[in-house]
Amino acid sequence: MGKYLLNKVLIAIATVFVLATATFFLMKLIPGDPFASLKTKAAVQEKQREYYGLDQPVAAQYVRYLGNLLRGDLGWSLKKAGRSVVDIIREGFPVSARLGLTSLFFSVLTGLLFGILCAQFRNRWPDYLLMLVAVLGIALPSMVLGPLMRYFFGVRLKWLPVVGWGTPDKMIMPAIVLGLGTVAGETRAMRASMLGVMTQDYITTARAKGLNRAQVVLRHEVKNSLVPIVTGLGPGIAGIMMGSFVVESMFLIPGLGRYFVDSITNLDYPLIMGLTIFYGAFLVTMNLLVDVVYGLLDPRIRESGRKKVK
Amino acid sequence: MSDIILDVKHLVVTFDTYQGSVQAVRDVSFHVNRKETVGIVGESGCGKSVTIRTVMGLNPRSSGSVRGGQALFDGQDVLQLPEKEIRKLLGNRMSMIFQDPFTFLNPTMQVGRQITETYLRHHAVSRREAEEKALSILRLISLPNPEQNMKRYPHQLSGGMRQRIMIAMALICEPAVLFADEPTTALDVTIQAQIIDLMNSLKEKTETAIVLITHDMGVVANMVDRLYVMYAGKIVEQGDADAMFHRPRHPYTWGLLDSVPRLDERTKEELHSIPGMPPDLIAPPEGCPFAARCRYAMNLCVRRAPDTIPLREEGHAAACWLCHPEYVRQYGETTREGRPNVK
């Protein structure tokens, strides 16, 4: 297990390095100049570029950036005067993560439950109903669902606040909108995985022991069905915790989501890099975590990480 | 208390498929006495597993359906029991070991827990007591290092050990009947012998009646008290082991006996096999199902299926026109060696 983990960590570090390099050069290929403006004089613009080191060759900028990165310095935002990239992440990420985790927790639980129900009632009405919800969850984008929910639950029924952040009730609607895709995905994945497990021979063995249906499902089917599900969870966790541009803008939530788009349209180079590397490192960490959980679920993987298990 | 623990009468099982209804079991009757070992032999697809799984209530309910007959377990028709009542019997009073110990054990559960699970289901005892019971069973079936192996996962054990785990799982509640569905097919020959020896020794050590299902006459030899030979969803011959092995009367039984590879015959011949294929059970033939493959087949065989004809010895019977008293009177008794030159 130790060797297996060390191997995974080394691969993770290499992944982040490749990501940083690719992003840096791709970012520099975007046409335009962060300081180009009709309002400031050319000499001032020149001074700004010089101050941020943008007058140097791209290769030199890259080497300097990597050096700073190793020291944990992500630089200063070009557009938010006086704020470092680290500060921005430190402020925005906890908000996005809190919303994301809440959303993820409930949507994964709901999705797994829906998936189990679908599989158990295969091709009967509960299956069709829940799969319809799942398909809707994938088909309906949050910019459609969000306003609809705000209209009905916020404006018409006045059950929930329409926008805002800070109290738990303000989190309900954004969490649902954010998590519906996850619910849908988990439902479909769990259904498929469980249907595969249900026809396995060891389920017949379990039934031959005289176990009732609930015991067969809970003790023998669920755990074995979860193994492939956990794999898909890693990227999902990272994605949902980084915040969503649409949901955060819609509900006026001071998270990280909006910076992903803003930083690129503004050509805020250090912020683009900082966010990308942060997201990448987080994603890789989550995948690493998933590998560990995977091993806990299936003893065959725990033993030999390299051996192929069918 | 009757001596018969399981009495299956005129069982008919049909599977509905898109091609049509597969008549997997066509009027099968057999019984098992207490503490007895019974063999059911036949080639793949003859309906032997379906018969047993029907009695256990393990066929998928969606596809298989019992179209007739009874299965009296201790006087109670299990085919009529509600599911909840059947579950009280399964693993407890009747249990089953399966063909493939590689796929029939849960890969993510310690084998010890898989064994105790059965016991805990049927007895109100603590986990600790169930573990004690499991250990005693594992010692009975002589699994090496039972304490350590209980904590292992199936993939950490060898095929023979896994099959022992399956047997322990099935025996822990000391059932009245143990069904063994091809218990040695997936194992190496040497391990096969070990498992057969083990099951033989269990006959003495436990009160359990064993129903052994196999396609291999070699496996049931020296083990069973009585034997049923099944073909195309029907029992074609039945009788005591002695009669069945020494005076078999049905040409299909001869074929099965000839198909067992022998070490004492130093011939360079190929392994014997019965020519042809079993009939299509969606539309089974009108006459004897074996007629198309039988070298003794007569016109009558193709036109009419023979009834089960009782033979000289008690309990010995065969569904074959060659055994019909009228035929025997005219042409004499056909035995396995009796008319070797008939082609």
Residue A289 C-alpha, separation from nearest chain B C-alpha, in angstroms: 19
To test the contact with chain B by mutation, choose from A120, A121, A193, A205 the residue with the greatest count of B C-beta atoms within 10 A, namely A205
- Specify the pLDDT at position A265: 86
Q: What burial letters (b/e) apply to B26-37, b meaning 16+ CB within 10 Å?
A: bbbbbbbbbbbb
Reported pTM: 0.78
Q: Round the average pLDDT of chain A to a whole number and report it.
A: 86
The whole-angstrom distance between residue A10's C-alpha and the CA centroid of its chain comes to: 22
Q: For residues B328 and B335, what is the distance between their CA atoms, to the nearest angstrom?
A: 11
- Whether B148 contacts chain A with CB within 8 A: no
Q: State the average pLDDT over residues A288-301.
A: 79
User: What is the distance between the terminal CA atoms of chain A, rounded to a whole angstrom?
Assistant: 19
Q: Which of B162, B210, B200 is nearest to B36 (CA)?
A: B210
Considering only CB atoms, B87 lies closest to which of A201, A210, A224, namely A210
Q: What burial letters (b/e) apply to B291-326, b meaning 16+ CB within 10 Å?
A: bbbbebbeeebeeebbebbebeeeebbbbbbbbeee
Residue B291 C-alpha, separation from nearest chain A C-alpha, in angstroms: 35
Q: How far is CA B88 from CA A52, B10, B113, B176, B214, in A?
A: 78, 25, 19, 13, 27
Per cent of chain A over pLDDT 90 is 25
Q: How far is CA A256 from CA A106, A181, A240, in A?
A: 21, 19, 11
Q: Is B155 in Cβ contact with A211 (below 8 Å)?
A: no
Considering only CB atoms, A204 lies closest to which of B84, B104, B118, namely B104
pLDDT top residue among A18 and A299: A18
Write the DSSP symbol of residue B79. T
Q: Which of B135, B99, B108 is nearest to B119 (CA)?
A: B135
Residue A235 C-alpha, separation from nearest chain B C-alpha, in angstroms: 25
Contact list, A200 vs chain B (CB under 8 Å): 103
Give the lowest-confidence range in A254-258, A303-307, B19-23: A303-307
- Specify the pLDDT at position A197: 92
Q: Is A297 in Cβ contact with B89 (below 8 Å)?
A: no
pLDDT band at A4 (very low <50, low <70, confident <90, very high): confident
- Specify the pLDDT at position A298: 78
- Whether B150 contacts chain A with CB within 8 A: no
Say which residue the tokens 């009788």 belong to: B239
pLDDT tops 60 at residue A305: no
- Whether B105 contacts chain A with CB within 8 A: yes
With a cut of 50, list the residues of chain B below it in pLDDT: 1, 340-343
pLDDT tens digit sequence for A73-109: 888 888 877 888 888 888 888 888 889 989 999 999 9
Q: For residues A23 and A25, what is the distance between their CA atoms, to the nearest angstrom?
A: 6
Q: How far is CA B176 from CA B13, B70, B73, B254, in A?
A: 24, 18, 9, 32
Say which residue the tokens 């599989």 belong to: A119
pLDDT tens digit sequence for A118-168: 999 988 999 999 999 888 888 888 889 888 988 999 888 988 888 888 888
Per cent of chain B over pLDDT 90 is 34
Q: What burial letters (b/e) apply to B147-175, b meaning 16+ CB within 10 Å?
A: eebbebbbeebebbbbbbbbbbbbbbbeb
Q: Is B166 in Cβ contact with A205 (below 8 Å)?
A: yes
pLDDT tens digit sequence for A9-68: 899 899 999 999 999 999 988 888 888 878 888 888 888 888 888 888 889 999 999 998
